[in-house]
Amino acid sequence: MQIDIIDYESCSAAGVNLSALRTSLRQHQSGLIKNNLPGSDLDTWIGVVGQVSAVNDLGEWQSRNNRLAALGYEQGTIRSTVSGLINKYGAARIGLIMGSSTSSIDRTEEAYTKLNSENALTDEFRQPFVHNPHAPALFAAHLSGIKGPSLTINTACSSSAKVFATGSRWLETGIVDAVLVGGVDTLCLSVLHGFDSLQLLSPDPCKPFDQHRNGINLGEASGFAVLQRAGENDNAKGIRLTGYGESSDAYHMSHPHPDGLGARLSMTQALDRAGLPPSAIDYVNLHGTSSRANDLIEGKLISELFPGSVSCSSTKAWMGHTLGAAGITEAIIAMDTLQTNVIPGSKNLEILDEALNFSIKATDEPKVCQHVMTNSFGFGGNNCTLLFSRTG
């Protein structure tokens, strides 16, 4: 069964909405800034969504993660699209799937700095629905009024790519008539210093696949998309989820399999499910974190699986690696090329890693694409590949 994309929106340091993101991509204007996170003196660059501070206090739902989700949900027509589907099918017939790697750990981190004299949570931090791995979906259900099945997926950096695969299965089995999928992750000290302890952060703006890359930059983002069975909505965007692949090689907690076995499997599964040869793909949005190991393994896989005619880029230099929100952020960038007819370049790429040989450019490429793909590879070897196609 094929699945239509009815609506989508992205909110990141590269743009508070899809329109702003398109402008940043077109002008090659990155949202990365020198680290200014309160309490952190790490020498790195981060992608902060400054507009989060203007979001009203959420009361019992208060957390930076939920505020970023709320900000993203108000962009574009996502809210009105979901409201229309609820009116048509009923709130219980709409599903909800969110991806996140840290949920609202930012709020929990803050709570521990403000314990009372008995080392217990103060009243303002007694938030069982926030200090909760399922917090993103609980809050999104509160925001949207959706009462159908809900799920929060946490598979590290592939979390909000896998929401599309799960949503597709829910629609195929008929348990819902539409699905709101999304992802959200925010920066906090636990996240930033956790990655620093793994020696992964770069003191410079990241340079995916560049010979002189020296680590990643972290960012925050939220994003949403609405899925329905093909042909059931007149407002479809002309974009269809035609394939997906999921795998877990479980080679190491943080290092990918040296031969990329799981990543290869997720890509070939997506192609097989779509019934397409590698040569049919016009563009691949790469996971491309700018780490030495990840880029090398992914780049070699691309050159082995795809012909040189397939264009590739990594877009993390615009907003940083947004962790559990990276999957949907980059899925949106990939599928949006079917609307804009422009493939974004790989920002900051100067000299391609001498061990790699595939079609990747620093500059944009005007191109009418028919089929595009995006990769999301997470800790623990948890991989997801999505394939989107033009319907017209």
Segments making up each domain of the chain, as ranges: 3-390
Asked if 341 contacts 368 with a C-beta cutoff of 8 angstroms, the reply is yes
* Annotated catalytic residue, options 188, 321, 371, 384: 321
pLDDT at 335: 98
Residue type, 158: S
CATH of 3-390, one of 3.10.20.740, 1.10.3720.10, 3.40.47.10, 2.60.120.10: 3.40.47.10
Question: Measured on CA atoms in the order 332, 335, 341, 342, is the torsion positive or negative?
Answer: positive
DSSP state of 321: B
Contact partners, residue 50, CB within 8 Å, separation at least 6: none
Structure tokens at 102: 């840290």
Q: Report d(CA 320, CA 289) in Å as an integer.
A: 8
Contact partners, residue 144, CB within 8 Å, separation at least 6: 73, 79, 82, 86, 94, 96, 180
| Gyration radius from the chain CA atoms | 20
Angle CA(201)–CA(206)–CA(212) in degrees, nearest 5? 95
10 Å Cβ neighbour count for 60? 11
DSSP state of 51: G
Q: Are strands 283-285 and 221-229 parallel, antiparallel or unpaired?
A: unpaired
252 in active site: no
Query: What's the whole-model pTM score?
Result: 0.97
134 in active site: no
* Annotated catalytic residue, options 11, 188, 206, 287: 287
Q: Which residues of the chain have pLDDT under 70?
A: 254
157 in active site: yes
* Annotated catalytic residue, options 157, 206, 312, 384: 157
